[in-house]
Amino acid sequence: MKILYINTLFTPNIVGGAEKIVFNLAQGMEKRGHSVTVITTSPPGDKISVEEVEGIKVYYVPLENFYWPFDEAPKSSAQKFLWHLRDAWNQKMSSTVKTIIRHEKPDVVHIHNLAGFSGTVLKDISTNFPTILTLHDYYFKCFRSTMFKNGKNCNGQCWDCKILSLPRKVVSKRVRLVVGVSNFVLNRVASDEYFRDVEKDVIHNSIREAEISRNTGREIVSIGYIGKITEEKGFSSIVETLKALNRSDWRFVFAGRGDEKTISTSLIKLGDNAKYLGFVEASEFYKNVDLIIVPSLWNDPYPTVILEAFARGIPVIGRDRGGIAEIISLVSQELVFGSNEELSSIVKRFLDMQRSEYVALSQKSYAIARSYTFEDFIKKYEAKYVSVGK
C-alpha cells in the first residue's frame, strides 16, 4: 500500500509530540513493507526539496506565509493575526500539496497537524484520495490550536476563532475517518457540525519498543518536568508548589525551551534544589528523574511525555485537563490533581512514601506502557488504511 502523510513538521524539525508520533508511524509502516511518503513544511524562502529520511521519502515545502512560526523571533499581535488569516485559506500551499499528491498517487492520505498548510488541503485532495485525519490538538476549531486564552480554557469558540476556522468547518466533512488521540480531543473538536457524518474513532498514541527500559533504582527525590516552559503548560505551578514545601529532601530537574526570564526566575526561587538541563534528548532527561509532573493548564489532548515516563517505570502526576487523566488514572486516580494544594499533597506523599509503595507505582506505570504496544498501534492504523481505501 502507498501511504502519504501530511504534518506541519517532520524530522529534523521536532517541536512537540506529534512530530515524534508521525515519524514513528511512518517508519513503522515502511518496515511493514508499505511505500511511505511525507509532506511537511520548511522555512519560507527555501525551495521544495525531496530527501530520504531513514527510507522515507520526504517533501519539504517552503511555507507560504508571513513568517516561520517555529523560531525564537518575537512576533507582534498584528503579525500573528495576519499569519492566521492567511492560514485560514492558503491556496498556494494547497496547490503545491495537490500537485505532489497527484504525482505520488497514494492509496491513502493520512493527515495530522495542518497549521501552515491550512484546511484548504482537504478540499483539494479528499475528493480523489481516501483521507484520514488524526486530531492532535484543536486546530480545526481554534486558530491558536489550544482553545486557551487569557489564562483560561475556552468553553466554546471565540468570535475570531469562529470566523477564521469557518473554512476548516466546511471541509472537515470531506474526510472518511477522523481519529482522536484521546476521547477528550475527539469529543471537543468533532462536534458543533465539525466532521458531520464522518466516521470517528480513538487511537491512543504509543511509543516504540526500543524506548521501553525500566528505571526504578534511585531514591524518590528527583522531580522532573520536560516540555515547553510556557503559561499554558502550567510550569509556574510546579515552581510555586515546590517553593512552598518548607522541606529540602527533593530536587527539581527540568528541560525544554521557553522564556529565559521564567527559567532564570525559577532557578532563583528554588536555589540549589533546581537544575535546568536546557533542550535535551528525552532519553537523557529521564535518567535524572524519579517522578514526572504534567501540570498543563490547557486541555492537553494526550501528552506523549506520560507514556515516555511510564515506559521507564517513572510515575506521573498530572492535572485534570484534556486527555491527561485518561492515561494517568489507569495507574491511580490519586495521581491526578486539580489545584496547587492537591499537587502539594501528592508530592509530599511521594517524598514520604515507603520504597515498596514507589516500586509498586513504578511497576504499574511500566505495565501500562507495555499495554500500549507500538505493534498494536501500527496494526490499528493499518486496518484503518485498508478500510477507508475500499
Q: How far is CA 29 from CA 1, 4, 276, in A?
A: 9, 11, 37
pLDDT digits (tens, 9 = 90+) for 281-303: 888 899 889 999 999 999 999 99
What is the domain-level CATH number for residue 381? Answer: 3.40.50.2000
Number of other residues whose CB lies within 10 A of the CB of residue 2: 15
Question: Does 70 share its domain with 194?
Answer: yes
pLDDT digits (tens, 9 = 90+) for 129-167: 999 999 999 999 999 999 999 999 999 999 999 999 999
Question: Does 128 share its domain with 264?
Answer: no
Q: What is the DSSP letter of 308?
A: H
C-alpha grid cell for residue 322?
Answer: 484534556
Question: Does 191 share its domain with 250?
Answer: no
Which residues span the domain enclosing 227? Answer: 210-371
Question: Does 166 share its domain with 37?
Answer: yes
Per-residue pLDDT of the chain (390 residues; tens, 9 = 90+): 999 999 999 998 887 789 999 999 999 999 999 999 999 999 998 789 999 999 999 999 999 999 999 987 889 999 999 999 999 999 999 999 999 999 999 999 999 999 999 988 998 787 789 999 999 999 999 999 999 999 999 999 999 999 999 999 999 999 999 999 999 999 999 999 999 999 999 999 998 755 555 554 456 589 999 999 988 899 999 999 999 998 889 999 999 988 889 999 999 999 999 999 998 988 889 988 999 999 999 999 999 899 999 999 999 999 999 999 999 999 999 999 999 999 999 999 999 988 889 989 999 999 999 888 899 999 999 999 999 987
User: How many structural domains compose the chain?
Assistant: 2
Question: Does 181 share its domain with 326?
Answer: no
Number of other residues whose CB lies within 10 A of the CB of residue 352: 11
Report pTM: 0.92
Residue with cell 507560504: 64
* Distance (Å, whole) CA 224 – CA 72: 24
Number of other residues whose CB lies within 10 A of the CB of residue 39: 24
DSSP 14-34: --SHHHHHHHHHHHHHHHTT-
